[in-house]
Amino acid sequence: MKITKIESVGNREVFDLTVDGDMYVLENGVVTHNTGNMYSSDAVFIIGRRQQKEDDEVTGYDFIINVEKSRFVKEKSQIPVSVSFEGGISSWSGLLDMALEAGLVTNAKKGWYALVDPETGEVSEKSYRKKQLDNKEFWLPILQSPKFQEWVEKTYRLSQIKMINDDQIDAEYESIDSEIDDE
């Protein structure tokens, strides 16, 4: 099939058809299939949770946002969010897991964490318990680290490059216009 004309038709209402069977051939030869909500959605996040407890008392929840489908975040990413009844959403939610994976924090020993110098890879002599990590003094050096910022972008962000550049689009339009004029 060859494109002979491109014409704007404005905004039109579209429909998500559901039919018996796996596919359906429309009158104009276009093949469609059952898509449902998952395929017609721009983003699908599934949220799981587990309780935060101190002794037998529930003090909040740890949520995991599983990215099943997204146009802006890599699919299959997991985004942890901690919410306590006392303090609400933790400003530092999920950072420990991310910093461990990025290599900027290490398990110094069981139940203790230490900073790793992003330039030298040296482990700090000072260790922290997990409860001591909810503060800006611990996290700001990590958040300001170019290594951590690059790791987050590489891990979670989808590419922002154009799939086709403006010169290619202009050339394609010129080619189509030329072919139309020749007819």
Sign of the CA dihedral running 37, 39, 42, 46: positive
Domain assignment present for 23: no
Q: Is residue 50 part of a domain?
A: no
Q: pLDDT value at position 47?
A: 94
> At CA 65, angle to CA 151 and CA 96, rounded to 5?
45
Residue 169 belongs to some domain of the structure: yes
CA distance 82 to 95: 10
Give pLDDT, residue 8: 82
Domain count, the chain: 1
**What local confidence, expressed as pLDDT, does residue 29 receive?**
65
Q: How far apart are CA 181 and CA 67, in angstroms?
A: 48
Separation of alpha carbons 121 and 118, rounded Å: 6
Residue 96 within a domain: yes
In a domain, 107, yes or no: yes
Range of the domain at 108: 91-183
- Interior CA angle at 144 toward 115 and 106, to 5°? 20
- Residue 88 CB contacts under 8 Å (≥ 6 apart), including other chains: none
Residue 139 forms part of a structural domain: yes
| Per-residue pLDDT at 93 | 87
Q: Please give the average pLDDT of every successive group of 10 residues along the chain, which has 183 residues.
A: 78 69 61 60 89 93 91 84 91 90 91 90 90 88 91 78 60 64 62
Question: How many other C-beta atoms can be found within 10 angstroms of the C-beta atom of residue 148?
Answer: 21
Instruction: Identify the pLDDT of residue 100.
Output: 94
pLDDT at 127: 92
Is residue 75 one of the residues assigned to a domain?
A: no
pLDDT at site 37 = 63
Does the residue 40 lie in any domain?
no
